[in-house]
């Protein structure tokens, strides 16, 4: 069945460092891909999405490109801030349901 594999955390970075969180997927058909962010004690917020191959989703300085050839959707940001500290979930949508990765905790220190 469909699945999402996400790099384990925590990822610990200094402010202004470059961020990459890896995400790969297995799916039939043509899924949509999402990154959600969860701040402490809160629900999930959509960060960005891509609906077809080679699409690039971007928001708040974060980017991810839908790579069908490598079945990947890695999240990147050129310069992280302390306020980016949160848990990031990669997710796949192939029907009405979402399949989540295990989440990656990002900790950014000043």
Q: Which residues bind other proteins (CB under 8 A)?
A: 31-32, 34, 36, 41-46, 49, 51, 89, 93-98, 100-103, 105
Q: How far is the CB of 13 from other proteins (least distance, A)?
A: 19
Tell me whether residue 65 or residue 79 sits nearer to other proteins (CB atom): 65
State the Cα–Cα distance between residues 15 and 13, nearest whole angstrom: 6
Tell me whether residue 29 or residue 110 sits nearer to other proteins (CB atom): 29
Q: How far is the CB of 39 from other proteins (least distance, A)?
A: 10
Q: How far is the CB of 79 from other proteins (least distance, A)?
A: 25
Q: How far is the CB of 72 from other proteins (least distance, A)?
A: 18
State the Cα–Cα distance between residues 33 and 24, nearest whole angstrom: 10
Helix (H, G, I), strand (E, B) or coil at 23: strand
Give the DSSP per-residue string, 35-101: EEEE-TT--EEEEEEE-STT-EEEETTEEEE-BTTTTB--EEESS--GGG-EEEEEEEESSSSEEE-
């Amino acid at each position: 069945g469909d699945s999402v594999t996400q790099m384990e955390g925590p990822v610990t970075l200094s402010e202004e460092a470059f961020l990459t969180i890896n995400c790969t997927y297995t799916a039939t058909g043509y899924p949509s891909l999402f990154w959600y962010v969860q701040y402490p004690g809160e629900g999930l917020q959509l960060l960005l999405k891509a609906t077809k191959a080679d699409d690039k989703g971007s928001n708040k300085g974060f980017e991810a490109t839908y790579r069908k050839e490598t079945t990947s959707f890695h999240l990147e940001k050129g310069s992280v801030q302390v306020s980016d500290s949160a848990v990031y979930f990669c997710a796949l949508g192939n029907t009405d349901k979402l399949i989540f990765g295990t989440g990656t905790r990002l900790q950014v220190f000043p």
